[in-house]
Amino acid sequence: MSKEFILSTSRNNKLRISAFGLKNLETSPCLIFVHGFKGFKDWGFGPYLGKFFADKGFFVVTFNFSHNGVGESRTEFDELDKFAENTFSLEISELTELIDAYKNGFFGKTKNQKIGLVGHSRGGAISLLTASQKKDVDALAVWSSVAKLDRYSERQKENWKKKGVFEVLNQRTKQVMRLNLSLLEDIEKNGDTTLNIKRAVADLKRPLLLVHGEQDLAVPIVEGEQLFNWSDKTLTEFQKIPAAGHTFDIKHPFEGSNPKFDKVINLTIDFFNKHFN
């Protein structure tokens, strides 16, 4: 069972949240799942992992960033205007506010305030960047994580600036999703500072699990290897999943788990149990 919450941020944006394992809230660590680009908390494996980790004794939070494009429908991109205005810095600030809300009793009283982040794809990078600023995060597991936020060629950036928008086709829904200049400006302004993933990983000094599919076409495994190269090897594990793609063969709508994703979530739970016990 999960319970729905809405957190209003300091910028008056809404974070839609699902909380799993409320019976574990007071005594157990919290795991926060951070979705990626074109992701949302109710996509594919989201509800499944929430229940899985809760059944293993954790308090689990899944949530939607306010500008991820998914609104009241929960499963459709019905807020494309907000999607267009999203930035990496906005997501970092919202994850930071969610962590603070948990620590300050938003979900209820808690004695064990250990926090783990589980980030997928771009959500992995947002988790790493947030943790580099937020010492409340005790350990991180990132799946299929990007190692760079600037994923655009010079020609693409030039056209982006001319048109004022960059268009992305959602292969699943066939929607053309626009990104305004705000995202590019965020990269150009903060790429060497608050959005510097290399520096964030190198300075992390906390347990880190990297999981990557060997056949990931969306985020090639070389990016996982890059993250590992930057990391403190005494605190980092790198697990490669053979013959697995970006979502470890999980689809939306969810059709059930599979041996590859089972391996991912079991590696993840073992990692957190090791570092939280």
Strand partners, 240: 212
What is the pLDDT, as a whole number, of residue 277?
84
Residue 28 pLDDT level (bands cut at 50, 70, 90): very high
Residue 204 pLDDT level (bands cut at 50, 70, 90): very high
| 17 pLDDT more than 90 | yes
The DSSP code for 241 is: E
pLDDT for 135-182, tens place per residue?
999 999 999 999 999 999 999 999 999 999 999 999 999 999 999 999
- Residue 199 CA from chain centroid, whole number: 18
State how far the Cα of 66 lies from the Cα of 7, in Å rounded to an integer: 10
| 56 pLDDT more than 90 | yes
Q: Which helix (H) or strand (E) holds 8?
A: strand 2-8
CA angle 231, 235, 241 (to 5 degrees): 75
Q: For 266-276, what is the mean pLDDT?
A: 98
Q: Whole-prediction pTM value? A: 0.98
List CB contacts of 54: < 8 A, sequence separation 6 or more: 20, 21, 24, 60
The full DSSP string for 62-98 is: EEE-TTSSB-TTSSSB--HHHHHH--HHHHHHHHHHH
What is the pLDDT, as a whole number, of residue 1?
84
pLDDT for 66-97, tens place per residue?
999 999 999 999 999 999 999 999 999 999 99
Q: For 97-102, what is the mean pLDDT?
A: 98
> Which architecture does CATH list for 2-150+191-276?
3-Layer(aba) Sandwich (3.40)
What is the pLDDT, as a whole number, of residue 59?
98
Q: For 195-205, what is the mean pLDDT?
A: 98
Residue spans of the domains in the chain: they are 2-150+191-276
Minimal CA–CA distance to 16: which of 79, 87, 81? 79
Give the torsion sign (CA, 220, 221, 225, 228).
positive
